[in-house]
Structure 1
């Protein structure tokens, strides 16, 4: 079997991350779901003792080797057709010294993902034309060429400035199973309706050249090319995070290759789509990212839908420090944000019986992605302790905390 080689190719030993829990969101007991900020190679190494051979599905959307810097949109009320007017912050960097560096980056991580996968597990690797050919050879080496289950094309529309070649309007998703003889594929969960012309054809001729009449009501198994609109066209999903993937894309993957109660992982979580959809579909999740921007977008999306999860950090690349700022006050049984801070916040939350250690986020207020204002107050319900901790994330990523006394 052909193998890729590059300078200094070898598996390196990585020190495990020192994982520390910062908060539990929407739960007062240890959650099954985890959102972790830090270097994913160190995090995955730290997860091996507990999760080796236990993750049923891994989907990753790593950097594509574009050699670009991506920004995230944070401002609103600007013309969406004029990017130069947007307020932005750093998103993530997809810059590399050379192809060797990029390949080594993937190689180290894919090996650990293979170890983390359950015996019946599947890995979906999402890339584009820049590096998918190299990645396939890497995956053949790690998983075995016989375990390539699908090469999926995600096609989409959108403007393109290219005038010297055909417009590049597809990504490639490589699906590898750990064992070709034993893997999850829920064919009936992903069926789609036959198109109208096909239905008309079969109604006019029972077999229509196919040899037998299909069950038109049951629908068909999708081909290995998929059309889903990009998030730029989906106003209800947009977060402003660059390269965000549509929920419908992840829904198909998660339904196909996992079952309710299974564990789904995404180690390049970006805007948090994988975790959000996994939670919708009653799967458990582990999701990680190296950047605080991605972590906080994911935190907001998951909290907004009521997901229960832990927020964790690698102490070697910690979350931003909590600044003690008097930004909230207690008015009766309501926590209110002081007016001068209201326009600066993207997210705030309350632990209404704080023990001085682990923050239990029971209620959150979130700035809508497109229109509307962040709720200025939250009414306290149930048990109220002697200390109420209020935390907030500013629109530029700052973290604040204030302690209120009854």
Structure 2
């Protein structure tokens, strides 16, 4: 097996969805042209600081031990675990991002769509660059993801939104299916008919969606994790079942989680070993074998003398060519559900037709229409 991070030129898509570890620019060069229907990227926002988040777990106390009171009055202690970080500082952000956007354009299929997720610091510069790469006519939307969480500024208006720029490869031939997107409730249902209120409406270019709950099941503990609902909507609208989705700043793997749920194939790329670890857990992938695990001390932490490469090799156990991990597909339960669905007996349509025909014979006013209806509904005997 090659060393982790080794570049192996494949010039083809993998046989199934995979997670790749390594420099995304090098790995993108190994993929064939026009392979992906959706490319979603959420690059570092160039905030000028390191992003970090501690993984915190709640452990139930023994009776009589003080702690936070939770469900059913049980007492819990919150245990602060490992720190997951990545650097979000660049000397020349656009020299870093431009070649990767050029690769995104190359890898998009003729019907493909790019979703570039940024914040207010860089979104305007990105629009100028993407106009140059894709052409202004390929600009489809500026999506605003609005939320209300986090610190409140006192010397300016609080910033509570991200920007997602949407560009298509071919403005005359891109795939977009609004009917596949989950509808949302009207903000003022009393102003529309009950039928419309029950049906809901298609989302606009402003998406009101909460962030990932700090205590919810969706949380992975990775900094800047994006909500599953945002990625689900993107993939529903811009791809079909069986299409390929690419995210080369994969982070916690939300793009892959949404793609797998919607039965799309995907390639996720990230250079951060902690991101690979988070994705392994998220996709239920096997943990490293005992003989591959790094040496640890009594507390379970790696020994200072432990080989960093050994740690990475353990993390990437069973990796294809040293940098790829095959992601198991979700079981297809649709056929099982269809089989389990109770059969509804067919209505005796021929008998109804005969009754309608008999009724028509008694009424000269309705005779002709009823007779036509009877002829249309009559099922020939086998």
How does the TM-score come out when normalised to structure 2?
Answer: 0.66
Tell me whether 1:18 sits opposite 2:4 in the alignment: no
Tell me whether 1:36 sits opposite 2:20 in the alignment: yes
Question: Superposition pairs for residues 321-336 of structure 1, below 5 Å?
Answer: 322-323=292-293
Larger strand proportion of the pair: 1
Q: Distance in 1 between matches of 2:204 and 2:323?
A: 48
Tell me whether 1:110 sits opposite 2:125 in the alignment: no
C-alpha displacement at 1:232, in angstroms? 3.2
1:202 to 192, 195, 201: 192
Q: Distance in 2 between matches of 1:176 and 1:77?
A: 43
Q: Taking structure 1 as reference, are residues 217 and 85 closer, same or farther at Cα in structure 2, changes over 3 Å only?
A: closer
Q: Deviations over 1:311-354 (max 9, x none)?
A: 9xxxxxxxxx9446699xxxxxxxxxxx9869x9xxx99x9xxx
Does the CA-based 8 Å contact 1:193-1:219 persist in structure 2?
A: yes
- Secondary structure, in 3 states, of the residue corresponding to 2:188? helix
Q: Structure 2: give runs of 5+ residues left out of the alignment.
A: 60-66, 69-77, 304-313, 329-382
Does the CA-based 8 Å contact 1:17-1:46 persist in structure 2?
A: no
Q: Distance in 1 between matches of 2:274 and 2:223?
A: 11
Q: Distance in 2 between matches of 1:178 and 1:70?
A: 32
- Secondary structure, in 3 states, of the residue corresponding to 2:241? coil
Q: Distance in 2 between matches of 1:274 and 1:361?
A: 15
Report what 1:262 is aligned to: 243
Q: Structure 1: give runs of 5+ residues left out of the alignment.
A: 1-15, 22-29, 205-213, 312-320, 328-338, 352-356, 364-406
**Taking CA–CA contacts closer than 8 Å with sequence separation of 6 or more, which of the two structures ends up with the larger relative contact order?**
1
Does the CA-based 8 Å contact 1:64-1:127 persist in structure 2?
A: yes
Larger helix proportion of the pair: 2
Q: Taking structure 1 as reference, are residues 34 and 20 closer, same or farther at Cα in structure 2, changes over 3 Å only?
A: farther
- Secondary structure, in 3 states, of the residue corresponding to 1:249? helix
Question: Superposition pairs for residues 59-70 of structure 1, below 5 Å?
Answer: 59-70=40-51
Tell me whether 1:92 sits opposite 2:86 in the alignment: yes
C-alpha displacement at 1:219, in angstroms? 3.5
Does the CA-based 8 Å contact 1:191-1:218 persist in structure 2?
A: no
Q: Taking structure 1 as reference, are residues 290 and 147 closer, same or farther at Cα in structure 2, changes over 3 Å only?
A: same
Larger-gyration structure (1/2): 2
Q: Deviations over 1:206-234 (max 9, x none)?
A: xxxxxxxx965553221100011111356
- Secondary structure, in 3 states, of the residue corresponding to 1:242? coil
1:192 to 177, 183, 203: 183
2:268 to 287, 294, 297: 287
Q: Distance in 1 between matches of 2:16 and 2:161?
A: 35
Q: Deviations over 1:115-146 (max 9, x none)?
A: 00000000000000110000011100001111
Tell me whether 1:132 sits opposite 2:123 in the alignment: yes
Q: Distance in 2 between matches of 1:360 and 1:41?
A: 18
Runs of 4+ that moved beyond 3 A: 77-80, 84-88, 214-219, 321-327, 339-342, 357-363
Does the CA-based 8 Å contact 2:21-2:323 persist in structure 1?
A: no
Tell me whether 1:238 sits opposite 2:223 in the alignment: no
Q: Taking structure 1 as reference, are residues 249 and 45 closer, same or farther at Cα in structure 2, changes over 3 Å only?
A: same
How does the TM-score come out when normalised to structure 1?
Answer: 0.63
Does the CA-based 8 Å contact 1:193-1:217 persist in structure 2?
A: no
C-alpha displacement at 1:86, in angstroms? 3.7
How many residues are treated as equivalent by the alignment?
Answer: 289
